[in-house]
Homo-oligomer: A and B are copies of this chain.
Amino acid sequence: MDINKAKDVFRRSGIKFSQQRLQIFLLLNNKNEPISADDIYLELIKGESNNINISTVYRILGLFTKKGLVLKSNLNIDGKATFEINHRDHRHHLICIQCGKIVPISGCPLKEYERSLIKKTNYLILEHNLEIRGICPECQKIRESKDIGI
């Protein structure tokens, strides 16, 4: 994702361009895991020339969310809300409860199920979220070597 592409997305979404919006948008595009407002802020202020305020981060995330560019993840990381780019390809995550690593998983196992749910409940199903938690291969090795029970 480069600057011109970002400007394009902004224009199409009716979002006025600004440096701060650009930076947050690029950062979110380079992450493939949910990130908190505070972490975005910390990443941006450690970047060389770049300055930004935490309230601006919140405001921009709110704007992006309202415009559908960003999803407010239902995954709260110790009390902080997290956000991620709205990959329209409908992505879920696999989260390691040991090291906190989050990896996107491809495909969605719920298409068929939702159809049956519609029949059963008469709800108009619009969206869902799914997070799966477990222990990644690396952390499993560490656990084995320390002989910790689950």
Show the binding face of A for B, using Cβ within 8 Å: 74-76, 79, 81, 94, 96-97, 103, 105, 109-110, 113-114, 117, 121-137, 140, 150
Question: Could you list 29 A-B pairs, sorted by A, with CB under 8 Å?
Answer: A74-B75, A74-B131, A76-B76, A76-B81, A79-B81, A94-B121, A103-B121, A117-B132, A122-B136, A122-B140, A124-B134, A124-B135, A124-B140, A125-B133, A125-B134, A126-B133, A126-B134, A126-B135, A126-B150, A127-B132, A127-B133, A127-B134, A128-B130, A128-B131, A128-B133, A129-B129, A129-B130, A129-B131, A130-B130
Not counting A126-B135, A127-B134, a sample of 14 additional A-B residue pairs whose C-beta atoms are within 8 angstroms of each other reads A76-B76, A96-B123, A97-B126, A105-B121, A109-B109, A110-B132, A123-B135, A123-B136, A124-B134, A124-B140, A125-B134, A126-B150, A127-B132, A129-B129
- Copies of this chain, complex-wide, total 2
CB nearest to A128 among chain B residues: B132
Contact A137 B122 (CB under 8 A): yes
